[in-house]
Structure 1
Amino acid sequence: MAELQIYESYQRLLQNEELSTPLAAILALTEMMERSRAGTMFELLNELKGGAESLSRQTSNPIGLNAGCELFIEFITLFPHDAASFSELKRELIRQGQQYAKQALTYRTRIAELAFDFIKDDSVILTHSYSRVVLKTLLMAHKRKRISVFVTEARPRGMGIKTAEILQASGIPCTVVLDSAVAYAIEKVDFVLMGSEAVVESGGLVNAVGSNQIAIIAKAANKPFYALAESYKFHRMFPLSQYDLPSHHPRLLSFPQALGAGSGSSSVRRPSESSLPLLDHAPSIKITQEDIARNNPDVDYTRPDLITLVFSDVGSLTPEGVSQYLVGMFAG
């Protein structure tokens, strides 16, 4: 029942457009505390860890969610207190969780103000998919500077189109670029501005799939690659490749069995050329966008050596600086 309740809370909180997945996870855990009947800190922590694990299991891409849960549980563990009773302590922890989420909503403005100084007049910017903090930055820059923006489609979900519509409605010159045309467009670009689902311990970036190849192209073209990330997206995870991400599973990029193929190599006969069917009479196979989306990843990992700077509410950091900050943050 507790697992069902926390997942329902999380899904309800995500309906708020202002809440990213880490913040929704933090608030869901806060609501879980309000319902908890734990009588000791040990019991409460076990319940919160169980709730976090339940959310992670029920989510296909749990990376951002895990970052929020990890941060909140670490905060609960290290929280200094002189409360007279456990119930009083629990009320204070609930208040702190709600207060943090409220304060965290201001982080995007802080990041936008930091990144603003790196945007010059007549800048041409490339961005990918949909990011609230990137939108905040671009809309702020548009008020005082002339900018133009290339936005990738960001298939399979096509979230770049949502970004382009918002930018165009705000009067920002904007063009949607095919994901496969980034290398074609990069020569016109001054820098790349990228959102994030998580910034990991290596200083690398986890973001919508396609971010990695954009970073590779930007590096080859000698264009700066800036990542924007709220500090609650900093995550103690150290992937070495795409396949280390918790969102990866064996079905991704799998090869479906060919039509009519047998279960073993011994059952497959190579037909003679004369027996091959003509193309006109070949079986009709249709591959839908849904089929493609199911067989492809939602996010990918960008190595730290491809990232110029990470703009966060705690400052502008090099990828190495992110690693140092994470160590300090979780060392208490």
Structure 2
Amino acid sequence: MVVVVDTRKDRGPRHPEKAHRPDQPVQRKPDWIRVKAPGSRDWAKTGAIVRGNRLHTVCEEAGCPNIGECWEAKHASFIIMGDTCTRACAFCNVRTGIPEPLDAAEPENVASAVAELGLAHVVITSVDRDDLPDGGAAHFAAVIGAIRARAPATTVEVLTPDFLRKENAVEAVVAARPDVFNHNLETVPSKYLTVRPGARYFASLRLLQQVKEIDPGIFTKSGIMLGFGEERNEVLQVMDDLRAADVDFITIGQYLQPTRKHHPVVRFVPPDEFKSFETVAYAKGFLMVSASPLTRSSHHAGEDFARLRAARAAKR
């Protein structure tokens, strides 16, 4: 687990809504889930570029286990609109609270970091901003526009919030023409009340469907985590729902518990079960599937995008 050190004072607890909850059990991680601790020279260089442009990354904020591998390869996934989320999902390590105002310089700062890192493909995600009238859709569009202007050869993948009850938000992001539009369902419908209480399963599914209705040329992508106590048939139903929404790419990874106050890991799913889900997902018609214990939405996103594009071309 990556520990995020917050140097700003007087910000209170990272997860105030979880502070008084009883501690949950923490299972020992199996061998297949262990990763090498980060700390190489290239890892440090990537971190310096991120901080030099006053940016946040989902790699750090969400405690991604793949940060060492990705940053050593000078790959970083940026989290925009601050580091504080208006939601309080039971699985997420991103800070919860009242966000600060949007940084007008952020789109240019992101574009500068993308150019400096020489990224061929970049993933842009965000905290939930329920406090904004459009949920931050215009800011997403501004970031995409700035990257297009500064690094026109870079392909852009967005991983957006659900924009719940934010009229015309999806249209605004799609109009900026990202190459990939990702929105994660995160878990099966029966677990939403405990895992993702601020969201609605069918609203998220509808968002993905809308993207393809507006622009059929944009690749769509979604992901779920295993280990919350879901049943196999529920995972298969999510696959069917995503295919009905014409989603191209599914990611399936293992949930890892950030702290004792978060939802416990009910089960560590072995690699052979992930392989089985991958086989089934391809059979159901997904163009691209990434399923493994350490799979994350932005992990190997550039290589996966190249394979995704090739799979669509081969199908024509």
TM-score of the superposition, structure 2-length normalised? 0.30
- Which has more helix, going by share of residues? 1
Decide which structure has the larger Cα Rg and report it: 1
